[in-house]
């Protein structure tokens, strides 16, 4: 009977010790685990599409503002918009809330770019009108109205069609047609210059100095006109520039040769005048002619062959006048001397006759 009693005492002591041990253990410093974060709402398919549409709109309107020179006309507004655009392009939205914020940014950007473009378009038109007027005036100065009247009408018609497109608010088509009209006027200016140079070449027969280049110029000019009539402005301009370059080559070679020809002519006439003592007999006229000749030499050294030709031609003509005047003056002087000598001879004869008579009377 005593044995079970002891067992109960031992168990009781164990329980007591356990209670004491648990009561003296310090509380743990380990924090309780955080509550799970609330799940962010994902963007809906509709929201994703709305953001894509807003992005496409902003980018398209930005490009339109660029195409019509918005940054040139409104630099401060453009700079501010570009800063916001860069920030928006860097966004990587994931949640519905971030998508909404990005959507708001791109929508506002689209409105800003639209405003810049809308204001820029009328100013762009003004600049195009000015460019067309300048191009047309240059074509007229090159003689397009006289030599290329039908082609000028075609360019004017294209410019008028561009205006109609603008009034119909088809601004990109207006820009293309306006550029086409300007290109046509530019081609007419080049062709006009080519035809004027061609006329000069034919007047002075400069083509005899470089026949191959002249043939190439003629072929290119014909090609330019054919391309122009076919409304292929790019090909027409290339051909027109080629023709002008070839005509310039012919003219350069021709004027150089003619300048040398006239230089030799002027030099020969100058020598003739000097041999006739023109610097003494016709001093003022000779010095004037010699000054023109000297100027021609200076211009020739600078390779302005056309101007040199003109100066040598002028100098040669003046030396011719000086030479002829000197000859005439010399002839006049010789005649006067002969007349005087004849008078002296006659006087001597009369004196001798008188003396003979007086001798006979004695």
3-state secondary structure 56-92: HHHHHHHHHHHHCCHHHHCHHHHHHHHHHHHHHHCCC
- Domain for residue 24, yes or no? no
Q: Are residues 117 and 210 in the same domain?
A: no
pLDDT value of residue 146: 85
pLDDT value of residue 343: 61
Range of the domain at 314: 257-346
pLDDT value of residue 33: 55
- Domain for residue 313, yes or no? yes
- Domain for residue 30, yes or no? no
Weakly modelled stretches of the chain, pLDDT under 70: 1-39, 333-362
- The tens digit of pLDDT for each residue in 239-287 reads 999 999 999 999 999 999 999 999 999 999 999 999 999 899 889 999 9
Count Cα neighbours of 275 within 13 Å in the Cβ-side half-sphere. 7
Q: Are residues 54 and 137 in the same domain?
A: no
pLDDT value of residue 325: 93
pLDDT value of residue 231: 85
Closest CA to 259 of 214, 291, 302: 302
pLDDT value of residue 355: 60
Interhelix angle for 171-203 vs 96-141, to 10°?
30
pLDDT value of residue 17: 45
Q: Please say which residue of 225, 254, 283 terminates a domain.
A: 254
- Domain for residue 41, yes or no? no
Tally of domains within the chain:
3
């Amino acid at each position: 009977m005593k044995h079970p009693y002891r067992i109960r005492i031992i168990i009781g002591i164990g329980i007591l010790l356990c209670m004491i041990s648990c009561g003296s253990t310090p509380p743990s410093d380990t924090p309780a685990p955080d509550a799970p974060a609330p799940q962010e709402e994902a963007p809906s398919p509709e929201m994703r599409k709305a953001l894509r549409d807003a992005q496409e709109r902003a980018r398209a309107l930005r490009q339109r503002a660029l195409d019509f020179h918005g940054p040139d006309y409104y630099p401060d507004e453009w700079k501010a918009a570009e800063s916001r655009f860069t920030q928006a392009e860097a966004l990587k939205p994931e949640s519905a809330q971030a998508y909404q914020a990005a959507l708001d940014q791109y929508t506002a950007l689209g409105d800003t770019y639209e405003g810049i473009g809308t204001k820029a378009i009328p100013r762009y038109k003004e600049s195009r009108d000015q460019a067309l007027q300048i191009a047309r005036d240059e074509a007229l100065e090159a003689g397009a109205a006289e030599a290329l009247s039908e082609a000028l009408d075609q360019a004017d018609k294209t410019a008028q069609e561009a205006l109609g497109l603008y009034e119909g608010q088809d601004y990109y088509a207006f820009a293309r047609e306006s550029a086409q009209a300007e290109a046509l006027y530019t081609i007419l200016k080049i062709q006009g210059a080519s035809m004027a140079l061609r006329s000069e070449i034919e007047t002075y027969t400069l083509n005899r100095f470089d026949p191959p280049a002249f043939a190439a110029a003629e072929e290119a000019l014909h090609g330019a006109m054919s391309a122009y009539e076919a409304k292929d402005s790019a090909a027409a301009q290339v051909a027109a520039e080629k023709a002008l370059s070839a005509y310039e080559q012919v003219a350069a070679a021709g004027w150089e040769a003619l300048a040398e020809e006239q230089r030799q002519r002027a030099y020969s006439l100058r020598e003739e005048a000097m041999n006739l003592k023109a610097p003494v007999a016709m001093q003022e006229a000779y010095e004037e002619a010699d000054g023109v000749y000297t100027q021609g030499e200076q211009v020739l050294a600078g390779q302005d062959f056309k101007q040199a030709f003109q100066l040598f031609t002028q100098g040669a003509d003046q030396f011719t006048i000086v030479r002829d005047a000197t000859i005439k003056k010399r002839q006049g002087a010789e005649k006067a001397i002969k007349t005087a000598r004849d008078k002296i001879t006659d006087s001597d004869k009369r004196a001798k006759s008188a003396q003979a008579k007086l001798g006979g009377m004695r």
